[in-house]
Structures are given as structure tokens and as C-alpha cells.
């Protein structure tokens, strides 16, 4: 049995955690979707958030990224309290995300996806610059977009409208778009759902590369435990809205309570 840490305490000593969700609770019409869930991600650390269907993974994600407001509990990121901040402000503090159900801009090309994110990172759109025709992509931006495309492997598709691409490629585009924001923390919500095994491996490799080369922290929600094992340093297991275990993948996966949560009460 792996001890769940006391609320708000990092499982091991970290100077200061990048992301710290503390006792987050939220209920939907009487169903407690999250029950005092706490989670810590250190700088550059890769953490997997796993658990059976309906455990509250995506809900916790939404509470972190600002899509939902928790009923109780606090979320801190990089020294800032996120409570009450809308999603776009949280994004500006340095977190980017991908979506379980893909959210792309169908009419835009892959290049435009990256460019929009690149411009968003630089700050708000300036209408004056647009009106003075000073908004065409600069050489440095083109270079960065090309580098991103090479990293996620969509170089040949840069000028294709995303509506014409398959699900697997759309997930890569989402990932590239999130990376263009140069986040300190990447929130990846079930990136492998709907992908075949090769695409899943390719995605896991990209995630590993990002983490090791760019020192980006990753919080990964994932059903595919093999992918989790390939990608993360540490896992946190949610069940029925509570954190029931956390620690290195191999240790946690043998935990009796985790097995019970995944395989049923009698296991």
C-alpha cells in the first residue's frame, strides 16, 4: 500500500512545486465528482493521472485549466493562486492543454494553428498593427513554426486545412499548437484515445522528447497504461473522485487498492 501524501505536501522534497492542487472538491447535482483531490507536479516532472472511467480525471483537469470552477479547494501554479482566474489567464501563466475530444480550428491550415498559438504567446492581437499591414509572419516566426512541425512530425501537412486531416494527425496538431505556447506545464487529456498502436507510440515518444529536451512538466490523463508506463515519472490514481494512490508506475500498479478500483471489488 502506497501512502497517499497529506494534503498539500509533495510526495518527495521539491524546492517548490510547479502545480499544486489542494483538496479540490466539486459535485454535479449531488454526485461528488471530486472529493478532496490533491495533486502536485514539480518543475519538469512528468506525472500520469490514471483511474477507471468516471474517476474524475477530466474534471480535475478542467478545474486546473479553468474550464470549471471547483466548489472547494485551491489550485496554485508557479507561485500564483489560480482561484477565480479564467482559462485564458491561466494559459498565459504558462499552462497549455490538449483535449480529449479534439478541439481544432477546422478551416485553418496546420501552419495557421501554430501561428495563432505563437502570436497568442507574444500577447494580444494589436488592431493597429493589423491595420498598418504589419502582421504578416516574420522570418523568426516561420522558423519556429517549421521547427515545431518537424518536432511533432507534420511538416508535409503544414498547408493543409485541418478539416481534411485524420484524428491522429489532429492530435499531433493540438500537441504542436500547445507547444507553440512554450508552456511550463503541458496538460494532455487522453492523447491516445482513438489512435492506433503506432500512432500512440509516436505520440509517447514526442511527449518524452519534449520533457527531456525542453524541460517541460507534463500532466497526462490516460487510459492506456502502457503509454503511461512509457511516458511518466510518477502516477496519481483517482477513483470516485479521491486520490487513492500515488508513486512510481510499477509500485502503484501492484497496489491492492488500485487493482480493486480497476478490476472490481472482488479482485
- Contacts with other proteins, residue ranges (CB under 8 A): 65, 67, 86-89, 91-92, 96-97, 99, 101-108, 112, 115-117, 119-121, 124-127, 129-131, 133, 135-136, 161, 163-165, 167, 170, 174, 177-178, 181
Could you tell me the sign of the dihedral formed by the alpha carbons of 174, 179, 183, 187, in that order?
positive
State the nearest-atom distance from the C-beta of 95 to other proteins, in Å.
Answer: 9
In angstroms, the CA 62 to CA 235 distance is 18
Residue with Cβ nearer other proteins (130 or 254): 130
State the nearest-atom distance from the C-beta of 230 to other proteins, in Å.
Answer: 25
State the nearest-atom distance from the C-beta of 225 to other proteins, in Å.
Answer: 21
Residue with Cβ nearer other proteins (77 or 249): 77
User: At 18, phi and psi to the nearest 5?
Assistant: -75, -50
3-state secondary structure of 126: coil
Residue with Cβ nearer other proteins (99 or 249): 99
In angstroms, the CA 80 to CA 19 distance is 9
Residue with Cβ nearer other proteins (40 or 96): 96
For residue 231, give every residue at least 6 positions away whose Cβ sits within 8 Å of its Cβ, in sequence order, or none.
46, 48, 204, 207, 208, 218, 220, 222
**What pairing do the DSSP bridges indicate for beta strands 19-28 and 31-41?**
antiparallel
State the nearest-atom distance from the C-beta of 87 to other proteins, in Å.
Answer: 4
State the nearest-atom distance from the C-beta of 267 to other proteins, in Å.
Answer: 28
In the block, residue with C-alpha cell 471489488:
265
State the nearest-atom distance from the C-beta of 249 to other proteins, in Å.
Answer: 27
In angstroms, the CA 21 to CA 44 distance is 17
Residue with Cβ nearer other proteins (169 or 231): 169
Helix count and strand count (H, E) for the chain: 10, 10
Three cell numbers at 176?
504542436
- 62: closest CA among 12, 24, 16? 24
State the nearest-atom distance from the C-beta of 205 to other proteins, in Å.
Answer: 24
Amino acid at each position: 500500500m502506497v501512502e497517499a501524501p497529506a494534503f498539500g505536501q509533495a510526495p518527495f522534497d521539491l524546492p517548490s512545486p510547479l502545480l499544486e492542487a489542494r483538496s479540490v472538491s466539486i459535485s454535479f447535482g449531488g454526485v461528488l465528482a471530486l472529493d478532496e483531490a490533491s495533486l502536485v507536479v514539480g518543475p519538469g516532472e512528468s506525472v500520469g493521472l490514471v483511474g477507471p472511467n468516471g474517476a474524475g480525471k477530466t474534471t480535475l483537469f478542467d478545474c486546473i485549466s479553468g474550464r470549471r470552477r471547483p466548489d472547494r479547494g485551491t489550485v496554485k501554479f508557479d507561485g500564483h493562486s489560480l482561484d477565480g482566474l479564467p482559462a485564458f489567464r491561466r494559459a498565459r501563466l504558462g499552462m497549455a492543454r490538449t483535449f480529449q475530444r479534439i478541439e481544432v480550428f477546422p478551416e485553418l491550415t496546420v501552419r495557421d494553428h501554430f501561428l495563432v498559438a505563437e502570436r497568442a504567446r507574444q500577447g494580444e492581437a494589436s488592431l493597429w498593427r493589423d491595420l498598418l499591414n504589419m502582421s504578416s509572419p516574420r522570418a523568426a516566426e516561420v522558423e519556429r513554426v517549421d521547427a515545431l512541425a518537424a518536432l511533432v512530425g507534420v511538416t508535409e501537412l503544414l498547408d493543409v486545412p485541418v478539416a481534411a486531416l485524420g484524428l491522429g494527425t489532429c492530435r499531433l496538431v493540438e500537441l504542436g499548437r500547445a507547444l507553440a505556447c512554450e508552456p511550463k506545464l503541458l496538460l494532455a487529456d487522453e492523447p491516445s484515445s482513438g489512435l492506433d498502436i503506432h500512432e500512440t507510440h509516436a505520440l509517447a515518444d514526442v511527449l518524452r522528447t519534449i520533457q527531456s529536451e525542453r524541460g517541460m512538466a507534463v500532466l497526462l490523463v490516460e487510459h492506456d497504461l502502457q503509454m503511461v508506463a512509457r511516458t511518466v515519472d510518477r502516477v496519481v490514481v483517482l477513483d470516485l473522485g479521491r486520490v487513492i494512490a500515488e508513486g512510481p508506475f510499477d509500485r502503484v500498479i501492484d497496489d491492492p487498492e488500485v487493482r480493486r478500483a480497476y478490476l472490481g471489488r472482488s479482485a
